[in-house]
A and B are shown apart, each in its own frame.
Chain A
């Protein structure tokens, strides 16, 4: 039957080499950077927050971690405890004799454990009071303790790893380790509990370039050893409990514990990778390196999906999740320079509020008129909302409620939602091609988009109306067109149509160039642009020739 009038479909351009992907947009939405310099600019060596990583945690533990508002930042001989909500330090634990390592808050957010260079390990009470109370001290390790971590499943179990080449398992009440694992032949600098069902499994990475997996149930040495080419700086078990990431030198290796083999070597960093963290509920892995880059990997094929650069070598990072859904909230990056950078992603109501504020700000800059318009819009929205709520109340007695705003359109009132044609689309449909073209090439226009202009020009070519749209112009209406052409003629996707338009323009208006200085300037600019392109093409051909001869030589 009679076809519906649809707006002109936008030209689909081939996707360029690096379009901004959804993932990049997501990671770019970590904004509002807040920097925090540690006392005396001590390098930030460790950032941690109690993540509810495992699936079979005890229920209370999960609930506790969801309520948790704390994360710990270790720098020099101090551990700072920050609030996730306020992004501000709440208290500082400075009761260390030497450099502190690996300040870790337990999942219930009540106690913190940290090791230090002297070999001492201390457990602090973080709840209440400004001064942290030492609850427990062990001095069993005789060398610096680099790793102290709480078991994800049991509140009283923790592990430690030290430069004395041992990994130990502790029980909070006892004074001696419940288990000591030996086997590393160099400093053990990283370690973790395996998540999931097998919390008896521990993993550690050492400067002897091995990653070892230990089983608390099995007597003797490590149950599995992965040899690397460089000292291992960090290990990160994925939440599946079968895959393990190890940062060794500038590479990150993906190790499969079930098949007992390395799956992949990720070599995207230029310098030593110092820190790994899970993000997006275990769907992404974030790595930080001494080259100052943070890279985000997806966990199925280990492609880099986003990244950013920091001014100083990165020593530690964490993606801090918060809320019931454990959404990514902050990207915390600790650097050599002693700066802790916190970038925050707002979601839900907070994001909306921020947007509103930005809109008001922008309107204020424009002027009172825009501000009034904004207010009117807000009032309208509010009215609609109140009518909707009042209708909802009414609904208790009425059988059928017809909402004032049909959600999603189409449904209510029989009014089908049809996209209204824009002025240029209407002009185009009604054959006023020149007017339509004027609207889309106006680069100062509020809705200007180069691809819209391209869409129209291509449609004009399809309809044999290009010349008609270009004919009969005066100097003023010609200038924006010429500007548009000379701007876009260097883009290969726009090249074809720009060439056609230029041909037409030259054919139509070349005789008038002498009479108008503006026109002459613009045509001159076009010439310059084209000759630059020709030059580039020549260089490309030359390069091609050189490469070809190299290839022939190589064969």
Chain B
């Protein structure tokens, strides 16, 4: 049982009683005599870290065992996710919008922006979870034959046929043989006289060749499709229109146009296409086709003309008018170069992310990195703009009636704009934290001067307001994909409600430039400050944030004098701000109360390692690279000795440093002090639960100290050495225990001066260390640790990295819960006023980890709640229904005599039959003077009427 307690990311250190060196570690004070033993410990612990490789093999077994033994903690289903770069789908009646997420399909109501249904797709198979295959949804298309269904294709060849009105079909995918599916187009072709959905699947053969294969439902079941075309360029996009009469496939700089040969097909095998191929002046990033059909004299539908628009990676848009007439006729050989000349429209600076024809074909709608929706008048080339949207435009879809546009932005939001006044009628936004995209951005189709960021190197800074526990505050950037802009700045704070699952607001907590060009004249991305710390005061009235900015190294060449490196020159020019915000009411923007420019500084601005909030009063503490702990308290802002007041006459407060405590530096041999000074230092702080002690850990990796500071006097109560191995990651306090995270996770009892237990992290790469986080829940006395699972082949935290969550109870040294997530976890927070934790992963999903029978505070879709009205709405409204609706619409309080009669008439169809004694229970519960508040009564009555009737 010596591996018992190990997890994929943690290695249990041996029991102290087995290990004499650890036993020594139990009782340690920083005294001169014991420094020798310290050195011994370091050696021993490093050898322990080496040992862990042999334990890895037993891991899955061990964790399986654990999972069986532990029942009390459970992990909820994930909510949210990232909207993929796939066109959102309008239902034909425009009442619903179907958005494809990375792990699910979500159906929203366009009337009220509410989530109607979430259809989770089992993308990662559990059996081969250890081996990473890049499976992601490549396409989701509405079925042309039955509009209740959508086809969803996954890159590994699985294709789902899902009824989006019920969610059926998510468990039974078809599978097509393919190395990798690149794109799928669906159209209803007439086969054997009746229309049938035909799927055209673009399969990757090698790096630079692909084939198009057609399937119908029957062929999907057997897995044998009809090969239509094979081509040699690296393929990308596939579209087909007009009942499969026209297929357009794009491959880098060429377009392949396939025209259906033969009028009638009796089976799938009869489908044959004649393919033409011609070059586009630039790399294709998106395209849209506008076919015009006509009925021939024989009553057969025929393609009359096709207008094709192609958006390119360098910003140009090419329009091919009436393409069919320019294509050579049957048997007249191949296309000659230069025969097809497009019309060019160029406004975008970077790749066109989406371009669409308007319903009438007179306008083009395009969008891209510039965050500007551009409306082109095709004939004149006149431009119209909707500028300064919040993020890169990813997809634009014109609604079936042409009366609105659905726009998917890179900040994980989708909105519907009415075409008439360009006002949003629906807005859905998810978590906007950085994610790892499944597909490279369209901006990186061509070489850029900047290199896209392909890893998540820093944890997501997030916190929960203690007063409104359902609101999560996440620091987010202007876009969501890390690769998008080449920079990962997070100057915004998103307020996200996890119980109703929508973004409440976004506040700028650092400098942003939403209305200026977001690239320099050299084409470099402009970096904005990054929020590094967030903390709420106990009463939720104040928010403290730390943001950092430094000039990019490319700007620092001029400043190099002597042996200075660009990195140093940039560090000297860093701007680090500690800001205190007054949190207003719900949607009110935060008021900046104080900005501290150089909260910690030596001869230059020093970074702030940690920010902690006093659990008992409005007070914050920070620790910085200068080795000082500062306490920050609010005070009345005074002007000439008089309290300054705001516009409403309320007294203003400003924050200032009320105490600064210099921390001792670990004293080693005298000659090494200099060296220690230069070593990279790190620190962390935590308030004790009663706010009387601040635990501060600070020092170079060679010798960090933990100091217990009396918060009233600033004096040192206790100093403990040798708790950290390597860089200090975090320190937390729970009761009398200190939880310390470096390369080891150590739980130490400060009162009895005893090491309770310790684990060592297996993953020790820089990025992994940064992403290892720990959170403490006071209510359940538990500690949650998230750590990336070691991946020997990949050092960076790229796509495919996985994380593990381990929950400990502070009293027990065995983990209470071990769970591996298929995505990197970027943040873990304790859920206030509950015993659980909230976990955010790199796919913008939220998981709730709860103990026992506690209900996860996450949103349930409408369909799960049983209030989905889509079924009722889609039924033909019968007269009975109409009556019913009338009855429902009448207000309880306004019931007058004749309405009463009406209601009695259709009483048997009324949804809620409420027994009079139930109402009496509510209203006669207490005498009039002792009644509960009126809104409570209202909710009780409303609950009575809204519950589902019991089926007799």
Contact status A431-B388, CB under 8 Å? no
Complex Cα distance A503/B514, Å? 30
14 chain-A/chain-B pairs, Cβ below 8 angstroms: A2-B386, A3-B388, A3-B515, A14-B597, A21-B639, A303-B641, A429-B516, A431-B521, A461-B573, A463-B513, A463-B520, A467-B558, A503-B559, A507-B558
**In the complex, what distance in Å separates the CA atom of A429 from the CA atom of B388?**
13
Looking at the complex, which of A4-12, A216-224, A238-246 is the stretch in contact with chain B?
A: A4-12
**A1-38 with Cβ < 8 A to chain B:** 1-6, 12, 14, 21-23
B15 to chain A, nearest CB (A): 49
| CB-based closest 10 A-B pairs | A303-B641, A305-B640, A301-B641, A3-B388, A3-B514, A23-B640, A5-B515, A2-B388, A298-B641, A507-B558
Q: Could you say which residues of chain B place their CB within 8 Å of the CB of A305?
A: 640-641
* Min distance, Cβ A198 to any Cβ of chain B, angstroms: 28
Contact of A464 with B389 at beta-carbon distance under 8 Å, contacts A298-B641, A303-B640 already known: no
Q: Does B29 contact A (CB under 8 A)?
A: no
B600 smallest CB distance to A (angstroms): 16
A429 to B517, CA, bound (A): 8
A392 within 8 A of B: no
Q: Is the CB of B641 within 8 A of A300?
A: yes
Contact call A5/B573, Cβ cutoff below 8 A: no
Q: Does B586 touch A at the CB level, under 8 Å?
A: no
Indicate if the CB atoms of B639 and A464 lie closer than 8 Å: no
In B408-439, which residues have CB < 8 Å from any A CB? 423-424
**Quick check: B515 and A464 within 8 Å, CB to CB?**
no
Taking a contact as CB atoms under 8 Å apart, the answer to whether A468 and B639 are in contact is no
Q: What's the Cα separation between A461 and B556 when bound, in Å?
A: 11
Within 8 A of A (CB), among B510-555: 511, 513-517, 520-522, 524, 526, 549, 551-552, 554-555
- List A contacts of B516 (CB < 8 A): 429, 463
B651 at interface by CB-CB < 8 Å: no
Partner of A467, one of B513, B517, B555, B573: B555
Assembly CA distance A4 to B524 (angstroms)? 24
Which one of B522, B524, B554, B558 has the highest number of Cβ atoms from chain A below 10 Å of its Cβ? B558
- B639 partner, pick from A4, A22, A302, beta carbons under 8 A: A22
Contact: B641 with A468, CB < 8 Å? no
Q: Could you list which residues of chain B lie within 8 angstroms of chain A, going by C-beta atoms?
A: 386-390, 423-424, 511, 513-517, 520-522, 524, 526, 549, 551-552, 554-555, 558-559, 573, 595, 597, 639-642
Q: Does A95 contact B (CB under 8 A)?
A: no
**Whole-angstrom distance from the CB of B469 to the nearest CB of chain A?**
29
- Complex Cα–Cα for A461 and B527 (A): 11
Contacts of A2 in B (CB 8 A): 386-389
**What is the 8 Å Cβ interface bit string for chain A, positions 444-488, against chain B (1 contact, 0 not)?**
000000000000000001111111100000000000000000000
Contact B573 A22 (CB under 8 A): no
Q: Which residues of B contact A171 (CB under 8 A)?
A: none
Chain B residues with CB below 8 A from A431, complex form: 517, 521
Chain A residues, Cβ within 8 Å of B511: 462
* A residues less than 8 Å from B573 (CB atoms): 461, 496, 500
**Chain B: which residue is nearest A301 at the CB level?**
B641
Q: Looking across the interface, which residue of chain A has its beta carbon closest to that of B390?
A: A3
Cα A464 to Cα B527 with chains together (Å)? 9
Q: Complex formed: what's the CA distance from A22 to B638 in Å? A: 12
Complex interface: chain B residues within 8 A of A5 (CB): 388, 515
Q: Which residue of B lies closest to A302 (CB)?
A: B641
Contact A462 B558 (CB under 8 A): no
Closest to A5 in B: B515
Chain A contacts with B in 486-502, Cβ cutoff 8 A: 496, 500
Contact (Cβ within 8 A) A503 B558: yes
Please indicate the chain B residues that have their CB under 8 angstroms from the CB of A465 in the complex: 520-521
Nearest opposing residue in chain A for B511, CB measure:
A462
Give the docked Cα–Cα distance between A471 and B781 (Å): 61
Q: Which residues from A are CB-within-8-Å of B555?
A: 461, 464, 466-467
Report the separation of the CA atoms of residues A4 and B515 in the bound assembly, to the nearest whole angstrom: 7
A271-305 near B? 1/0 per residue, CB < 8 Å: 00000000000000000000000000010111101
Q: Check if A504 sits within 8 Å of B558, measured CB to CB.
A: yes
Question: What 0/1 readout, one digit per residue, does chain A (166-192) give for beta carbons within 8 Å of chain B?
Answer: 000000000000000000000000000
Bound-complex Cα distance A271 to B640 (A): 24
Q: Which residues of B contact A507 (CB under 8 A)?
A: 558
Q: Which residue of B lies closest to A6 (CB)?
A: B515
- B552 and A464: CB pair below 8 A? yes
Tell me which residues across on chain A come within 8 A of B554, comparing CB atoms.
464
**Cβ distance B59 to chain A, nearest Cβ, rounded Å:** 47
Chain A hits for B521, CB < 8 A: 431, 465, 468
Within the assembled complex, what's the spacing in Å between the Cα atoms of A292 and B423? 68
Give the distance to chain A from B473, nearest Cβ to Cβ, in Å.
Answer: 21
- If A305-B641, A431-B517, A464-B551 are given as contacts, then 12 extra A-B residue pairs at C-beta distance below 8 Å, sorted by A number, are A1-B423, A1-B424, A3-B390, A14-B597, A298-B642, A429-B515, A429-B516, A464-B520, A464-B522, A464-B552, A464-B555, A468-B521
Using CB atoms, name the residue of chain A closest to B641.
A303
Enumerate chain B residues within 8 angstroms of A6, measured Cβ to Cβ.
515
Residues of B within 8 A of A4 (CB): 388, 515
- A22-B640, A298-B642 given; A464·B524 CB < 8 A: yes
Complex: how many Å from CA A507 to CA B524? 22
Chain B residue contacts of A3, Cβ below 8 A = 388, 390, 514-515
Q: Contacts A431-B517, A431-B521 hold; do A500 and B559 have CB atoms under 8 A apart? A: yes
Of A6, A463, A468, A507, most B-chain CB atoms within 10 Å: A463
Cα A298 to Cα B644 in complex, Å, equals 14
- B273 vs chain A, min Cβ distance (A): 43
Question: Contacts of A12 on B, CB cut-off 8 Å?
Answer: 595
A467 contacts across to B, CB distance below 8 A: 555, 558
Assess the A462–B559 pair: CB atoms within 8 A.
no
Query: Complex Cα distance A467/B555, Å?
Result: 8
Whether A462 contacts B526 in the complex (CB less than 8 A), given A2-B386, A3-B515, comes out as: yes
How many Å from the CB of A422 to the closest CB on chain B? 15
Q: How far is the CA of A4 from the CA of B559 in the complex (A)?
A: 36
Residue ID in chain B nearest A2 by CB atoms: B388
Contact, CB under 8 Å: B515 / A463: no
Judge whether B551 and A461 touch: CB under 8 Å: yes
Q: Which residues of B lie under 8 Å from residue A496 when comparing CB positions? A: 573
Give the distance to chain A from B531, nearest Cβ to Cβ, in Å. Answer: 16
Query: Given contacts A3-B514, A496-B573, is CB(A463)–CB(B526) below 8 Å?
Result: yes
Contact among B390, B513, B522, B640 for A21, CB-based, below 8 A: B640
Nearest-Cβ distance from residue B492 to partner chain A, whole angstroms = 12
Question: In the complex, A82 Cα to B255 Cα: how many Å?
Answer: 98
Tell me if A464 and B526 are in contact (CB < 8 A).
Answer: yes
Q: Judging by beta carbons under 8 Å apart, are B514 and A462 in contact?
A: no
A468 to B388, CA, bound (A): 25
In Å, the complex CA distance between A468 and B523 comes to: 13
Closest residue to B592 on the A side, CB-wise? A12
Q: Contacts of B388 on A, CB cut-off 8 Å?
A: 2-5
A17 to chain B, nearest CB (A): 15
- Rounded to whole Å, the gap between the CB of A23 and the closest CB of chain B is 4
For B642, list chain A residues within 8 Å (CB): 298, 300
When C-beta atoms are compared, the residue in chain B nearest to A22 turns out to be B639
Smallest CB gap from B638: residue in A = A301
Contacts of B517 in A (CB 8 A): 431
> Once bound together, how far apart are the Cα atoms of A465 and B522, in whole Å?
9
- From the candidates A300, A302, A462, A468, name the one contacting B549 in the complex (CB within 8 A): A462
Q: In the complex, A466 Cα to B559 Cα: how many Å?
A: 13
CB neighbours of A301 from chain B (8 A): 641
List the A residue with the shortest CB-CB distance to B572: A496
Contacting residues, chain A, for B641 (C-beta < 8 A): 298, 300-303, 305
Contacts of A500 in B (CB 8 A): 558-559, 573
Shortest distance between the CB of B530 and any CB in chain A (Å): 13
Bound Cα distance A464, B424 (Å)? 34
Q: How far is the CB of B881 from chain A (nearest CB, A)?
A: 37
Contacts of A461 in B (CB 8 A): 551, 555, 573
- Taking CB atoms, residues of chain A closer than 8 Å to B639 are 21-23
Interface residues of A in 285-344 (CB under 8 A from B): 298, 300-303, 305
Question: Which A residues lie within 8 Å of B389 (CB)?
Answer: 1-2
